[in-house]
Structure 1
Amino acid sequence: MKTTQLNSPWGDVRVMLENPQQLTVQGSSDKAVFFGQGYGAARLRLWQLDLSRRVATGTLSEIMGNGALRTDIFQRRLGLASLAQQAESIDAGAEPSSWQGQQYQHIQAYVAGINQALVDMKLLPVECLLLRYRPASFQVRDAYLLAQLKYFINSAWQYELFHTRLSGRLTPQQHKQLLTTVGQEGNPIPPLPLNEAGERLAEVEEALRDGLLGMQHLGLASPDTGSNVIAISGQRTVSGKPILAADPHMGHVNPGYNLMCKLESDEGLYVIGSHFPGVPGIIVGRNHHAAWGMVGIMADNQDLFWGKINLAEEKVETTEGWVPLKREKQTIQCKSGKTHEFTAYGFSQGRLLSEKGDYGLFLRWPSLDHPDGDISFYSLAKCHNWQTFRASLAHVHNSPMMVGYADIHGDIGLQTMGFIPKRKTEIGSLILNLTNPDHQWQGYVPYEDLPFQYNPPEGYAVYANQYSEALFSGKCALSNRWHPPSRALRVSELIEQTHQHDLNTLQAIQDDKVDVFARTALAILLPYLSVSTPLSDWNGDTRKIEQAQLFERWMQHLADKLLRKVLKRGSRALYSDFWPGCRWNMLTILHHHLTDWGHEKNAASQLVQDAYNSALAATQHATVPEVEFQHTIKHPAWLRKLLTGRYPYQGGNRETVHATRQHTDFLTQSQIGSDSPVKSKPYTFGPGFKLLCDLSDRGEVRYMMNTPAKGGPFFWLLTPTLWRWQQGLRWSMSMSDMKKNDK
């Protein structure tokens, strides 16, 4: 993409691709810049923009055929288009000078830029040519629609299905042992609310019974997230000013979800960072005054409810008796020319996901109450101190996040944002009964009551999806499912090892692949072995592939053997995949609770030895797995091969700072496809990009992404970017001048 000069209704704008990973937009006004950002996003990511719109509206079948029908039906049941329409109406009707009125105008400019690119493009993306269609013009509503989609994807409602089903098969003791989380301070966090005696509350027992009953009525038989953000104060840096490091984790797809943008206007807008194509603005980045990064907090911000329904009379039974359901006739047009018709239903407390006989399963999330909110982060892009930073997040209603912060004044901190439901009774992540008043929402946690941390005395703030007593104890309930503290502990360990930090030391921390859990576990497990092992002198560095793979398989086989007398094979596999703290809990069970799982008290030695033997046998004929970047188009097989970028696995797991994961989450499962010929799971989840920001006068920013700015689909177009990613090479710039030297 060459430098393009544009005349917009809001002023002149220049759009250019500074390097293979950064789009720069310079304009005479903020609206002109957003026009240019939309133009550049469409020129680089038109396929991604249209694909996201089709996913959200349930119209994939029009271009991909019957294979996408189930996805379309699910999306139509959610009703995101209706929520987008409501959000657009709220912003359109707001006072033009208000933040909502400004957001609407910025989105108008952004969408106008997309449509100008559609007019100017002489050649459509390869995907459109392969599927033989031309994307329609974009509407302002589409930006609100994509915001609703991205909010919904970052969710955990599927966990409630699995959790309820699993909990019904376990004793309270087994449940607590299997689903406990270890906090950063080392203390256990129970998976469900307990009383002072450590027993389940009566309300929880009732909710579990109700949830299991609902699953029986419905005939129902995990997603995961991850990210790191690090803020180091000037007392620990060479420059005497803070440094911020952020690396959001997400599914490895081609093209990636991030587009690095630098936005600059004559009206004072100056910001660089990650842009999610579809909505104007910057999600993670920095301006002249401050830098920020966002991390998921595994929030329990959605609930699954079951209840009696009468679709003939279009009503559902709730605490208020039988209330009307809203009926929405849906027609899905398939590529074959055939149509699929069905009816979607919803009401104020949820959307009907599935039904069986006289019972239905409803999903409730905050957008059903508040579809509006800040989706462009315009005020965040212009924040200049801790107070304006916090104020800028107050209007964000969508996916709850922990936001790391650092500024040129020397302040650092963490702030929770997003809507968290207040519940009459804290039940935990279980399927709930629509007719039980204790299960109903009581509004949302006030923004001022959300956890935050400001200038911590240790001189740094680290968040990596872990439970931290300093942050969460005594505060409102946010989640029942946290990541183990491995990444946070490793980051803290590396920070403490160096007296004064700079971008080079933070870069090394971001790229670190040492598994601190492995070091702990080997000290416990190795004495049980009666044979020599290459793990005896392994320090947890997962870049040593043979040792790392042997340890991973050892833990997998150990979990399988510990749980097999209680859980069936499918449940064991799902647990190992979706529960972040699985390995930590296996050590606890091995040491203290063998009899609860059907083993003899003295069986630990044999279990560990048998698991090791199984793992050793499995690794003898194993090949090095691959890291893959899957494209959405997967058929036919020869085309899927051409569209899949890959490189050999080079270390990292879900508990290392540079995390890599096999496809076990909602997002990347859908990318793999059910007929994948790959015999062993590829790694398709991990950091999507990495950002480093020096808040000193030098103002250096370093960044790297694993897919190029231009969404070229073929694997050979990904190769140069993936090579840089493997080498850990960043692009570097100052806040006033682009530098093209590798760091």
Structure 2
Amino acid sequence: MKVIRLQSPWGSVSVALDNPQLMTVEGSSDKAVFFGQGYGAVRFRLWQLDLSRRVGAGELSQIMGTGALRTDVFQRRLGLKALAERAEASDASADPSSWQGQQYQHIQAYVAGMNQALSDQRLLPAECLMLKYRPRPFSITDAYLLAQLKYFINSAWQYELFHTRLAGRLTPEQHQQLLTTVSQEGNPIPPLPLDANGQRFVDVEEALRDGLLGMKHLGLASPDTGSNVIAIGGQHTESGLPLLAADPHMGHVNPGFNMMCKLVSDEGLYAVGSHFPGAPGIIVGRNRHAAWGMVGIMADNQDLFWGKIDLAEQRVETVDGWVALQKEDQQIACKSGKSHEFTSYGFSHGRLLSEKDGYGLFLRWPALENPQGDITLYSLAKCHNWQTFRASLTHVHNSPMMVGYADIHGDIGLQAMGYIPKRKREIGSLILNLANPHHQWQGFVPFDELPVKHNPPEGYVAYANQYSESLFSHKCALSNRWHPPSRALRISELIEKTSRHNLESMQAIQDDKLDIFARQSLPFLLSYLTEPSILSEWDGDTRNIKASQLFDLWIQHLTTKVLCKVLKRGSRMLYVDFWPGCRWNILTILQHHLEDWQYQQDSVRQLVQDAYIAAMDGCSNLALPVVEFQHSIKRPEWVRKLLTGSYPYQGGNRETIHATRQNTDFLTQTQTGDSTPVRSKPYTFGPGFKILCDLSENGEMRYMMNTPAKGNPFSWQLKPTLQRWQAGLRWSMTTPSPNGENKNGRD
């Protein structure tokens, strides 16, 4: 692509693609750079930006028809646009020299660039042509709206419906066994707090009963994240200075959620990394002094509450008595020309999602009380040491994250950030009662009380959504739904296996697909088989697709057999999909707790053998899975195929470092008894991009994405990028040292 040279109200700026995955913006001022970044975002991602804006505002039906109406109704009930307007007003009225005032000015420049690109756009994206519409200009509110949307979707509030439903069908012993978490240190973390005798506290039992009662009133019958960040200190590297690796995991979509950018200004801004189109800045990346990566911390930052409502009087019963509800008349325009009208309700502690027979289900999250916060991460892009890094995170109020860090001074660390409710007891993963004083929030966990680790004695930090006692013990409760320690244990194993690391060894760690759980559990499981198995020589490397598929099916059938006397099929399937550590818990139940699940302990042999036979039968009908990159336009079928990129699955599951996964498990697939191969459900979740940063004088940064910077919708345009991704090929550039020349190199 040729260099686009622009004049903005804040100075000159150029926009160019250095390669198919990196957009470089260079300008005379920071604001000019953000103008150029907004220009490039619309130039390459106009469809994605408009789609996200419509999702957040509840305006999809206008272009997609009534099939999107339910999504629009849900989004209008959330009221994200009102939160965006509050955040915008707060920043607009702030002192221009404050971080809020600067943020508003940077967003102004970004949006001005977006609208300049929209004005210059001669040919609309193919999606707009297919749907026969032209996007309207962007507003400053839209940037805040997209930030609120990204904040909201990075959560697991639906898990509370599932957890309440499941817990109500289990004894306390069964519940603890099925939904426990194993810490990185190997100890069980109970799903709900227990007293000294191992029993639930009275108020936790009360919360469970209240949640089940609320579901009964509302007629509700039923209801993943995963990323890695690694920083290795100089004592373990060839250069004597740190290395950092980050690979956020997200849904595989076309175009991808992120866009790789390099931002350089004459005022000293230098930042390169992932940009989420919609607001200026860099989310994950590096500058001349430091590098950082973000990982979901699995925090319980949202709660579902139920309570009595009186819509005629527009009020809800809370712990403070009856409180007024704010009524909002909604009108959703549909593509047909008709409109759908309804009324949404909310108050400071929740938005009404559904109601039945005088009871309502409310969703509460911190932005309802404080939608303001840092959404551009400008001060993070300019951090230059551990102290300024931590200070830059204090204003981030949105999605709770664990941020990994490394710098040229030799510091490494982890720091949690974001607003997380402070509760009297950790009962947030159940549906709560608005009128119960024990269920109410007690403010938010102060930043200085959030988990932090700085220059640990082992010389490295690694976070992969696991519960680590060294990080979380004796801290405020943040969650009860952690990932198992598989990825973190494997990362530690690989780090300690090599005495001196470089970018090549870090790349091998980042791409590793060995399932450590499979390797550890196979000796126990294989000991019950009476005949040789192909798994006998398998070391857990999931690139061996047939062995990996067989093992997965074996565990799935074991799960079904162990739980079938207590839970119905739907609950079993939801458990496998919702609970990250399900395999670890099923193995523990097999070894120690079968009697709690209506089996004799000596039934283990028969259960293992029967599950293995069923898995062998299932594998005979499974074709090689594929990884799919799905587009938001899925109808008609020929269009869906035209817009869906794919490649053969090459290994990796939710417990491997390269954690590709399916939305659901193998048992939800059709498995016939004939010889025709059954197409496995595609893998649609995994790493969105990977970066590697060398903090030595060399300053090299390697990066790769699985979708190009341009939002090309067609599968054949996506193919070259997917081929590079399959091969693990990274682009490389050199980051200039703080006092050196810019030695930028390109692949």
Give the TM-score normalised by the residue count of structure 2: 0.97
**CA drift at 1:150:** 0.1
Aligned: 1:654 with 2:654: yes
Task: Give the letter for the 1:421 counterpart.
Answer: P
**SS of 1:506 mapped into structure 2:** helix
**SS of 1:739 mapped into structure 2:** coil
Task: Give the letter for the 2:417 counterpart.
Answer: M
Q: Which residue of 2 aligns with 1:545?
A: 545
Q: Which residue of 2 aligns with 1:442?
A: 442
- For the residues of structure 2 that align with 1:296 and 1:679, how far apart are their CA atoms? 31
- For the residues of structure 1 that align with 2:87 and 2:601, how far apart are their CA atoms? 59
- For the residues of structure 2 that align with 1:637 and 1:380, how far apart are their CA atoms? 44
**SS of 1:196 mapped into structure 2:** coil
**CA drift at 1:740:** 3.3
- For the residues of structure 2 that align with 1:601 and 1:18, how far apart are their CA atoms? 62
- For the residues of structure 1 that align with 2:607 and 2:746, how far apart are their CA atoms? 54
Deviations 1:441-465 (A, max 9, x none): 1111111111100001000000000
Root-mean-square deviation over aligned CA pairs: 1.0
Contact map agreement 1:704 1:730 (CA 8 A) in 2: yes
Contact map agreement 2:272 2:285 (CA 8 A) in 1: yes
**CA drift at 1:541:** 0.4
Contact map agreement 1:659 1:686 (CA 8 A) in 2: yes
- Give the stretch that moved more between structures: 369-378 or 419-428: 419-428
Runs of 5+ in structure 1 lacking a partner? 666-677
Q: Which residue of 2 aligns with 1:170?
A: 170
Deviations 1:134-181 (A, max 9, x none): 000000010000000000000111010000000000000000000000
Cα distance change of structure 1 residues 442 and 181 upon mapping to structure 2, 3 Å threshold: same
**CA drift at 1:427:** 2.0
Q: Which residue of 2 aligns with 1:671?
A: none
- For the residues of structure 2 that align with 1:325 and 1:727, how far apart are their CA atoms? 55
- For the residues of structure 1 that align with 2:439 and 2:590, how far apart are their CA atoms? 36
**CA drift at 1:224:** 1.4
Cα distance change of structure 1 residues 79 and 664 upon mapping to structure 2, 3 Å threshold: farther
Q: Which residue of 1 aligns with 2:739?
A: none
Contact map agreement 1:222 1:578 (CA 8 A) in 2: no
Deviations 1:308-363 (A, max 9, x none): 00111110001111111000000011101111100000001100001111000000
Q: Which residue of 2 aligns with 1:281?
A: 281
**CA drift at 1:223:** 10
Spell out structure 1 runs of 4+ moving beyond 6 A. none
Contact map agreement 1:294 1:402 (CA 8 A) in 2: yes
Q: Which residue of 2 aligns with 1:95?
A: 95
- For the residues of structure 1 that align with 2:196 and 2:255, how far apart are their CA atoms? 50
Contact map agreement 2:162 2:223 (CA 8 A) in 1: no
Contact map agreement 1:701 1:733 (CA 8 A) in 2: yes
Aligned: 1:106 with 2:112: no
**CA drift at 1:428:** 4.0
Aligned: 1:456 with 2:462: no
Contact map agreement 1:204 1:428 (CA 8 A) in 2: no
Q: Which residue of 2 aligns with 1:14?
A: 14
Q: Which residue of 1 aligns with 2:197?
A: 197
- For the residues of structure 2 that align with 1:452 and 1:621, how far apart are their CA atoms? 48
Task: Give the letter for the 1:509 counterpart.
Answer: I
Q: Which residue of 2 aligns with 1:519?
A: 519
Aligned: 1:333 with 2:339: no
Contact map agreement 1:156 1:223 (CA 8 A) in 2: no
After superposition, residues 321-400 of structure 1 pair within 5 angstroms as 321-400=321-400
Cα distance change of structure 1 residues 222 and 232 upon mapping to structure 2, 3 Å threshold: farther
Deviations 1:386-416 (A, max 9, x none): 0000000000000000000000000000000
Aligned: 1:740 with 2:746: yes
**CA drift at 1:501:** 0.2
Deviations 1:606-659 (A, max 9, x none): 000000000000001210011000000000000000000000100000000000
Deviations 1:19-42 (A, max 9, x none): 000000000000000000000000
Contact map agreement 1:242 1:694 (CA 8 A) in 2: yes
Contact map agreement 2:303 2:428 (CA 8 A) in 1: no
- For the residues of structure 2 that align with 1:322 and 1:570, how far apart are their CA atoms? 37
After superposition, residues 62-73 of structure 1 pair within 5 angstroms as 62-73=62-73
After superposition, residues 177-326 of structure 1 pair within 5 angstroms as 177-221=177-221, 224-326=224-326
Aligned: 1:143 with 2:139: no
Q: Which residue of 1 aligns with 2:672?
A: none
- For the residues of structure 2 that align with 1:222 and 1:308, how far apart are their CA atoms? 21
Q: Which residue of 2 aligns with 1:609?
A: 609
- For the residues of structure 1 that align with 2:628 and 2:244, how far apart are their CA atoms? 29
Q: Which residue of 2 aligns with 1:713?
A: 713
Matched length? 729
- For the residues of structure 2 that align with 1:448 and 1:690, how far apart are their CA atoms? 30
Contact map agreement 2:167 2:175 (CA 8 A) in 1: yes
**CA drift at 1:599:** 1.1
After superposition, residues 473-552 of structure 1 pair within 5 angstroms as 473-552=473-552
**SS of 1:306 mapped into structure 2:** strand
**CA drift at 1:222:** 11
- For the residues of structure 2 that align with 1:119 and 1:630, how far apart are their CA atoms? 29
**CA drift at 1:739:** 3.0
Q: Which residue of 1 aligns with 2:629?
A: 629
Q: Which residue of 2 aligns with 1:669?
A: none
**SS of 2:6 mapped into structure 1:** strand
**SS of 2:309 mapped into structure 1:** strand
Runs of 5+ in structure 2 lacking a partner? 666-677, 736-741
Cα distance change of structure 1 residues 12 and 244 upon mapping to structure 2, 3 Å threshold: same
Contact map agreement 1:513 1:657 (CA 8 A) in 2: yes
Contact map agreement 2:426 2:479 (CA 8 A) in 1: no
- For the residues of structure 1 that align with 2:369 and 2:428, how far apart are their CA atoms? 21
Contact map agreement 2:331 2:339 (CA 8 A) in 1: yes
After superposition, residues 565-714 of structure 1 pair within 5 angstroms as 565-664=565-664, 680-714=680-714
Deviations 1:647-679 (A, max 9, x none): 0100000000000010249xxxxxxxxxxxx95
Task: Give the letter for the 2:709 counterpart.
Answer: A
**CA drift at 1:595:** 1.0
Task: Give the letter for the 1:457 counterpart.
Answer: P
Query: % of aligned pairs identical?
Result: 74
Q: Which residue of 2 aligns with 1:404?
A: 404
**SS of 1:229 mapped into structure 2:** strand
**CA drift at 1:737:** 3.6
**CA drift at 1:249:** 0.2
- For the residues of structure 1 that align with 2:428 and 2:341, how far apart are their CA atoms? 36
Contact map agreement 1:184 1:489 (CA 8 A) in 2: yes
Contact map agreement 2:165 2:222 (CA 8 A) in 1: no
Deviations 1:34-70 (A, max 9, x none): 0000000000000000000000000000000011000
Cα distance change of structure 1 residues 650 and 216 upon mapping to structure 2, 3 Å threshold: same
Contact map agreement 1:258 1:276 (CA 8 A) in 2: yes
- For the residues of structure 2 that align with 1:682 and 1:638, how far apart are their CA atoms? 18
- For the residues of structure 2 that align with 1:508 and 1:224, how far apart are their CA atoms? 24
Task: Give the letter for the 2:37 counterpart.
Answer: Q
- For the residues of structure 1 that align with 2:155 and 2:679, how far apart are their CA atoms? 29
Contact map agreement 1:626 1:648 (CA 8 A) in 2: yes
Contact map agreement 1:303 1:365 (CA 8 A) in 2: yes
**SS of 2:619 mapped into structure 1:** helix
Q: Which residue of 1 aligns with 2:30?
A: 30
